[in-house]
Structure 1
Amino acid sequence: LMDWAAAALLLIGGVLIAMAVGIPVAFGFLLIDLVGVVLFMGGEAGIRQLVNNAFSSVTAYTLAPIPLFLLMGELFFHTGLAVRVFDAVDKLLGRVPARLSMTTVAGGTLFAALSGSSMGNTALLGSLMVPEMSRRGYKPVLSVGPIMGTGSLAILIPPSAMAVLLGSIALIDIGKLLLAGIIPGLMLSGLYVALIVLITRIDPQAAPAFEIEAVPPAAKVQAFVFDILPMSLIIGLVIGSMLAGWATPTEAAAFGAVGVLALAAFMGRLTLAAMISATTGTLKVTVMALFIVLGSVTFSQVVAFSGASSGLIAWATGFELSPLAMLLTMFVVLLVLGCFMDQIAMMMLTVPIFFPLASSLGFDPIWFGVIVMMAMEIGYTTPPFGLLLFIMRGLAPAGMTLADIYVAAMPYLVCALIVVALLVAFPSLVTFLS
C-alpha cells in the first residue's frame, strides 16, 4: 500500500485533473472512485462494496427534501407568484432612498426562503430588477451588487437544497443545519440594507431619486394581504414546523410544495405549462444532486479506506496550531477554491477531510457546517469564476463589463466576512435555534 500522502495526491489530484479536462463533476469523482477502489479496496470485491454503498447513499430518506424544496421554488417562479411578491414589496417600500435596491434585498430574502437555489434566486432578481435599475441610472454597486449579495442568501436561509446536500454528505443532522442558517442569513440581509443606506449617504447619485406615483394605504394593505402574507405564512409554517419539532425536513418540504401549489391554484396561476416547467426543472436538478451524492459518498469512503483522510488529519493537527488558526486555514482554503470551482465541487472535495478534522478539533458540526456554507456563499461571487458573476454578466445592461461586476460585488463580500467573524466570536448565533 502507498502511504497516505501519495494516496491523497492521487485521489485529490485525480479529481482536479478530471475537472480541468472538462469531465462533469459527479462523473469525475466516480472515475477516481473506481481507480481508488481498484488500488485500495481489492478490485472486484471493492467494486461490489462500492455499488452497495452507492445504492444506499442515493436511496436515503434524508435526501427526500431536495426535490420537494426545489419543486416549491420552481412552482413559485413559474406560476408568476414571485413577480407578485416583488410588486407588492415595491409598493410597500414607497419612497425610501435607493428604493429599487431595497426592494431587491427585501424581495430577494423572501424568495430565498422559497426557492432553495442561489442561482435561481439571482437569475430571477436580475431579470426583474436590472432593466428598471439601469433605466433609472443606478450605479452597479447598488444595482447588480445587491442582486448578487441577496441571490446567494438561498444557500443559507431554509429551505436550502445546498444545506440538505451538505448535511447528507457530511452525515450531520439536516434539520438542525437548515435551522442554523436562519440567523446568519437574516444578519447578512440586514447588513446589506445598512450598506445600501451608507452608500446612498456617501454618494446620493449611486441611486438617483425619482418621482413615483403615490400608492394609497388601501392598495398597500391589499398588496400585503393578498401577495406577501400568504407567502410569509407558507415560509413560517415550513420553518416553524421544523423549529417546533412538529415535522421532519421532508414533511416540512412536502407541506411547502403543496402550499405553493394550492396558493397558485387559488390565485388562478396554476397552468399546465407552469406545472411542466416546474417539474422538469426539479427533475433535472434532483438527478444532478443524486449523482453528486453518489460520487461524493463513495469518494469519502475511498479516501478513508486509503488512509488519506486519517493521514491528512494527523499531519494537519501535528502543526500544533490553535483550533481558531486551523479554522482560519480551512476557511481560506475554501475561499481560494471558491475562486476557481463551483460550490458542489468544493463540497465534494473538502467535506471528507474537513469535517473529520473539525470533529477532532472539537467544533460543533452544525456550527462548522454553517461556516462552510458561508464560505460557499462567498465563493458564488469571488472572481474570477464565481457562478453568480457570470449569471449577472448575462443579465447586465450593455456597457457594463465583468470588471464592473467584480467591483460591485466587493462591498457585499465584506458584509459576508463580517458575519463569519461574528459567528466565530458568538457561536450561539448558529446553535441556539438548532
Structure 2
Amino acid sequence: MIALIMFLVCLVFLAMGYPVAFTFGGVALMFGLYSEGLQLFLLVAERMHSIMTNITLMAVPLFIFMGLILEKAGIAERMLVSMGSLFGHVRGGLAVSTILVGMLLAASTGVVGASVVTMGLIALPVMLKYSYDKQLASGVICASGTLGQIIPPSIILIIMGDVLQRPVGDFYRAAIVPGLLLVVLYIVYCLLLALYKKEVAPPMPRSGASLMTQYVQAFKTIVPALALIMIVLGTVIVGVATPTESAAMGVVGAIILALIGGHFRFSMLHQVAMETTKISAMVFTILAGATFFSMVFTYTGGDEAVEQIMQHIPGGKWGFVVLMMWLIFLLGFFIDFVEIAYIFIPMIAPILSQIGIDPIWFGILVALNLQASFLTPPFGFSLFYLRGVAPSTISTLDIYRGVIPFIFLQLVALVAVMLFPGMITLF
C-alpha cells in the first residue's frame, strides 16, 4: 500500500510540473524515512557509490562529448551539402539525403538534440527554398534526428545494458537491423509520397559540377566520419573494447577530424565541455532520483505487488509484451526516455526471466518504443528542438502534423521486430 501511495504521489507532483529527478528523489526520501528511518541514508550512500563506480555509465558523457565535437566541427553540415548534391535532383531526394545524414549522425554521435538542431538549421531552409511541403520537411528532420535512439552508439542502449544487466555490445549488435529497417521505412515513405504527390517534394536543379566531382566530394566528406563510426562501434561489437573504451577512442577520433578539417578551436572545446557537463548532469541527476525511488519502492514491497500483477496478465508472454509496449508508448507522451528507462524498466525487469522473455529482444523493443517518445506531443523533445530553430513560417501545428506518419512508421518497425525476433540475431 505504501508503494502504491508513493507512486500516486509522484504522478500528482509530475502533473503539477515539478522536475522529474527531484520529484522521484524527494518523494522517495519522505516515504523512505517513514518506512525505514535513518538507516535509509546508509542504503542511499551504497546505491550512489555503485552508480559513481559503474564503468559502463562512463560511456554516456564520453559519447555526448564526441557527438558535440562532430556537430561543432561542421561535419554534419558538410555531409548534408554533399548528400543533397547527389540525391537532390530526384523527387524527394532532399528528404532522402536528410534521412541518410541523420543515420550517419546517429551512428557517430547518438545525441538526438544535436542532430535535430543541426539538420533544422541546415536542411530545413534548403527544403523550404525548393518548395518542400512544410509538414514533410519538419517530419523528416524530427524523425531522422531521433535515429540516434536506436542506432548505436545509442545512449538508451547503454542504459538498457545497465538496467537489464546485459553486455552493451550485445545490444549494439541487436540494434543494427532494426535501425536500418527504420531508415528504409523512412526513405520508402518519402519516395512514395513524392511519387504520388509531386508538389510536396520537388527536385532540386542540377548543379554545374559533374556527377563524378560530386561523388568525389561526397566520398571525401563521408569516409572520415564513416571510419570513425566503424572504429567506435566495431571495437564494441567484436568485443575488442568496452563501450567506455570505445567512447574514449571516439572522442580522440572526433578531435582529430576537427583538427584535420581546420575547425578545432579551444573555445569550441570549452563550449563542448560545458554542454556535455549540462547534459550529463541532467542524465545522472535523473538516475540518482530514479535509483532512490526504485530502492524505496522495492523495500516497501512495490516490486512484489508489480510482479503479482504482471503474472496475472492474460495472454502470457505476448500479453505481457503488448501491455508493456502500450504502457511505455503512453508514458512517452509525458515522460522523458531516461526516466522511463531508469524508473519503469527496473520494476518489470525481474519478471522477464520468469516468463521466458529474452532481455536483449525486450530491450530493443523498449528502445524502439522510446524513440517515438521524442516525436509524440505534447512533450516530444525533437518537436521542441526543431521549434527552437525553425522559421516563423512553420507553425507548431505543422511540426506536430509532420511527425504523425513517422510515428506510425516507428510503430510498424516495433511490430516487425516483435513478430520477427530473429532480426536482432543477424549480427
| Category of TM-score, reference length = shorter chain | over 0.9
Name the amino acid aligned to 2:377: P
Q: Is the 8 A contact 2:287 2:339 kept in 1?
A: no
* Corresponding position of 1:431: 425
* Corresponding position of 1:3: none
Deviation string for 1:242-285 (max 9, x for gaps)?
12111111111111111111111122111112111111111111
* Corresponding position of 1:95: 89
* Corresponding position of 1:62: 56
Distance in 2 of aligned mates of 1:133 and 1:84: 16
Distance in 2 of aligned mates of 1:431 and 1:355: 21
* Corresponding position of 2:245: 251
Distance in 2 of aligned mates of 1:277 and 1:88: 27
Q: 1:355 aligned to 2:371?
A: no
Name the amino acid aligned to 2:130: R
Query: What's the CA shift for 1:214?
Result: 3.8
* Corresponding position of 1:274: 268
Query: What's the CA shift for 1:218?
Result: 4.1
Work out which of the residue numbers 210, 217, 241 in structure 2 matches 1:216: 210
Distance in 2 of aligned mates of 1:293 and 1:167: 14
Work out which of the residue numbers 5, 10, 14 in structure 1 matches 2:5: 10
- Worse-matched range after superposition: 165-174 or 375-384: 165-174
Work out which of the residue numbers 261, 278, 286 in structure 2 matches 1:284: 278
Distance in 1 of aligned mates of 2:172 and 2:304: 28
In the TM superposition, what are the counterparts of 1:106-255 in structure 2 within 5 Å? 106-255=100-249
Ranges in structure 2 where 5+ consecutive residues have no aligned partner: none
Q: Is the 8 A contact 2:109 2:153 kept in 1?
A: yes
Q: Cα 1:215–1:363, aligned 2, differ >3 Å: closer, same or farther?
A: farther
Name the amino acid aligned to 1:26: A
Q: Cα 1:344–1:160, aligned 2, differ >3 Å: closer, same or farther?
A: same
Work out which of the residue numbers 365, 381, 390 in structure 2 matches 1:371: 365
Q: Cα 1:150–1:140, aligned 2, differ >3 Å: closer, same or farther?
A: same
Q: Is the 8 A contact 1:181 1:370 kept in 2?
A: yes
Identity percentage of aligned residues: 29
Query: What's the CA shift for 1:159?
Result: 1.2
Distance in 2 of aligned mates of 1:286 and 1:166: 17
Distance in 2 of aligned mates of 1:194 and 1:160: 24
* Corresponding position of 1:410: 404
- Worse-matched range after superposition: 379-388 or 15-24: 15-24
Deviation string for 1:340-379 (max 9, x for gaps)?
2222232233112222233332111111111111111111
Query: What's the CA shift for 1:235?
Result: 0.3
Distance in 1 of aligned mates of 2:292 and 2:59: 21
Query: What's the CA shift for 1:22?
Result: 3.2
* Corresponding position of 1:43: 37
- Worse-matched range after superposition: 165-174 or 239-248: 165-174
* Corresponding position of 1:22: 17
Ranges in structure 1 where 5+ consecutive residues have no aligned partner: 1-5
Name the amino acid aligned to 2:95: S
Q: 1:77 aligned to 2:71?
A: yes
Query: What's the CA shift for 1:188?
Result: 0.4
Query: What's the CA shift for 1:76?
Result: 0.2
- Worse-matched range after superposition: 341-350 or 325-334: 341-350
* Corresponding position of 1:339: 333
Query: What's the CA shift for 1:191?
Result: 0.6
Name the amino acid aligned to 2:20: V
Distance in 2 of aligned mates of 1:125 and 1:297: 35
Q: Cα 1:306–1:96, aligned 2, differ >3 Å: closer, same or farther?
A: same
Q: Cα 1:354–1:140, aligned 2, differ >3 Å: closer, same or farther?
A: farther
Query: What's the CA shift for 1:178?
Result: 2.8
Distance in 2 of aligned mates of 1:315 and 1:410: 33
> Aligned pair count?
427
Query: What's the CA shift for 1:8?
Result: 3.1
Q: Cα 1:97–1:90, aligned 2, differ >3 Å: closer, same or farther?
A: same
Distance in 2 of aligned mates of 1:396 and 1:80: 19
Distance in 2 of aligned mates of 1:140 and 1:23: 34
* Corresponding position of 2:305: 311
Distance in 2 of aligned mates of 1:288 and 1:45: 28
* Corresponding position of 1:33: 28
Distance in 2 of aligned mates of 1:110 and 1:275: 22
Distance in 1 of aligned mates of 2:289 and 2:146: 25
Query: What's the CA shift for 1:321?
Result: 2.7
Name the amino acid aligned to 2:4: L
Q: Is the 8 A contact 2:24 2:293 kept in 1?
A: yes
Deviation string for 1:271-312 (max 9, x for gaps)?
112111111111111122222222222322222221111211
Distance in 2 of aligned mates of 1:315 and 1:152: 33
Deviation string for 1:27-46 (max 9, x for gaps)?
22211221232233x21112
The alignment's TM-score, normalised by the length of structure 2, stands at 0.95
Name the amino acid aligned to 1:82: A
Q: Secondary structure at the match of 1:213?
A: coil
Q: Is the 8 A contact 1:122 1:151 kept in 2?
A: yes
Q: Cα 1:141–1:353, aligned 2, differ >3 Å: closer, same or farther?
A: same
* Corresponding position of 2:321: 327
Name the amino acid aligned to 1:139: D
Query: What's the CA shift for 1:94?
Result: 4.8
